[in-house]
Amino acid sequence: MAQPIISFKDYGFQYRAQASPTLHHINLDIYPGEKVLIAGASGSGKSTIGSCINGLIPYAYPGENTGQLLVGGKDPKKESIFTLSQIVGTVLQDTDGQFIGLTVGEDIAFALENDCVPQDEMKLTVEETAKLVDIDHHLEYAPHELSGGQKQRVSLAGVMVENVKVLLFDEPLANLDPAAGRTTIELIDEVQERTGAAVIIIEHRLEDVLWRKVDRIVLMDEGRIVADMPTKAFLTDTMLLEHGIREPLYLTALRYAGVPIREELEPQHVESLRLSGEHKEQVRAWYRDNEGRGGADAQRRDILSVENVSFGYTPEVQNLKNVSFSIKEGEMVSIVGKNGAGKSTLAKLVCGFEKPTSGRICLAGRDLSDDTIKERASQIGYVMQNPNQMISKPLIWDEVEMALLAGNMSVEERKERVEETLKICGLYPFRKWPVSALSYGQKKRVTIAGILVQQPRIIILDEPTAGQDYHHYTEIMEFLKGLNEQGFTIIMITHDMHLMLEYTPRAIVFSEGELLADTTAAHVLNDPALVQRANLKETSLYTLSMSCGIENPQEFTKRFIAYEEAHRKGQEG
Partner 1 sequence: MARIAILNYIRRPSPVHELTGTAKLIFFIAWSVAAMVTFDTRVLVCMLLIGAVIFRISQIRIRDISVVLGLAAVFLLLNNLFIYLFTPEYGVEVYASRDVLFPIVGRYTVTAQQLFYHLNITLKVVCVVPIALLFIACTDPSEFASSLARIGVSYRAGYAVSLALRYIPDVQREYRNISQAQQARGIDLSGKDKLFTRLKNSVAILLPLIMSSINRIEVVSNAMELRGFGKEKKRTWYMQRKLQRNDWLAIGFAIAVLAVGLAVTFSNGSRYYNPFV
Partner 2 sequence: MKKLSVKSVVAIGIGAALFFVLGKVAIPSPVPNTNISLQYAVEAVFATLFGPVAGVLIGFIGHTLIDATSYGPWWSWIIASAFVGLVIGLATMKLNVEDGIDSRKLIHFNVAQIIAHVLAWGLVAPVLDILIYAEPVEKLFAQGLMAAVANIITTGVVGTLLLLGYAKTVVKRGSLEKED
- The site for partner 2 (CB under 8 A) is made up of 17-20, 22, 43, 392-394, 434-437, 439
Select 249 or 390, whichever has its Cβ closest to partner 1: 390
Of residues 265 through 324, those in contact with partner 1 by CB under 8 A are 313-314
Cα–Cα distance measured from residue 162 to residue 151, given in angstroms and rounded to the nearest whole number: 18
Select 238 or 388, whichever has its Cβ closest to partner 1: 388
Select 407 or 528, whichever has its Cβ closest to partner 1: 407
From the CB of 102, what's the least distance to partner 1, in Å? 5
Cα–Cα distance measured from residue 36 to residue 202, given in angstroms and rounded to the nearest whole number: 9
CA-based torsion, 492, 98, 200, 242: positive or negative: negative
Cα–Cα distance measured from residue 545 to residue 529, given in angstroms and rounded to the nearest whole number: 19
| 62 burial level (CB within 10 Å; 0-12, 13-18, 19+) | exposed
From the CB of 137, what's the least distance to partner 1, in Å? 17
Q: Which residues on neighbouring strands pair with residue 366, listed in sequence order? A: 363
Cα–Cα distance measured from residue 513 to residue 342, given in angstroms and rounded to the nearest whole number: 5
From the CB of 80, what's the least distance to partner 2, in Å? 12
Q: Taking the CB of residue 70, how many other CB atoms lie within 10 A of it? A: 16
From the CB of 93, what's the least distance to partner 2, in Å? 17
497 binds, among partner 1, partner 2, none (CB under 5 to 8 A by kind): none
- 55 is an interface residue for partner 1 by CB under 8 A: yes
Would you call 265 helix, strand, or coil by DSSP? helix
From the CB of 215, what's the least distance to partner 2, in Å? 32
- 454 is an interface residue for partner 1 by CB under 8 A: yes
Find, among 350, 351, 353, 298, the residue nearest to 325 by Cα: 350
From the CB of 263, what's the least distance to partner 2, in Å? 36
- 17 is an interface residue for partner 1 by CB under 8 A: no
From the CB of 186, what's the least distance to partner 1, in Å? 24
Q: How far apart are the first and last CA of the chain?
A: 50
Find, among 551, 515, 506, the residue nearest to 343 by Cα: 515
- 109 is an interface residue for partner 1 by CB under 8 A: yes
List Cβ neighbours of 385 (8 Å cut-off, separation of 6 or more): 462, 463, 464, 466
- 42 is an interface residue for partner 1 by CB under 8 A: no
Helix axes 440-452, 411-424, angle to 10 degrees: 140
Select 20 or 314, whichever has its Cβ closest to partner 2: 20
- 128 is an interface residue for partner 1 by CB under 8 A: no
Select 299 or 314, whichever has its Cβ closest to partner 1: 314
CA–CA–CA angle 368, 374, 380 (5° rounding): 60
From the CB of 201, what's the least distance to partner 1, in Å? 17
- Taking CB under 8 A as the criterion, the residue among 6, 36, 69, 159 binding partner 1 is 159
CA-based torsion, 542, 545, 549, 550: positive or negative: negative
- 105 is an interface residue for partner 1 by CB under 8 A: yes
Of residues 405 through 434, those in contact with partner 1 by CB under 8 A are 405-407
Where do contacts with partner 1 occur on this chain (CB under 8 A)? 54-56, 59-60, 80-82, 85-86, 89-90, 92, 94, 96-103, 105-106, 109-119, 122-123, 126, 143-144, 158-159, 162, 313-314, 348, 351, 353, 373-374, 376-377, 381-382, 384, 386, 388-393, 402-403, 405-407, 450-451, 454
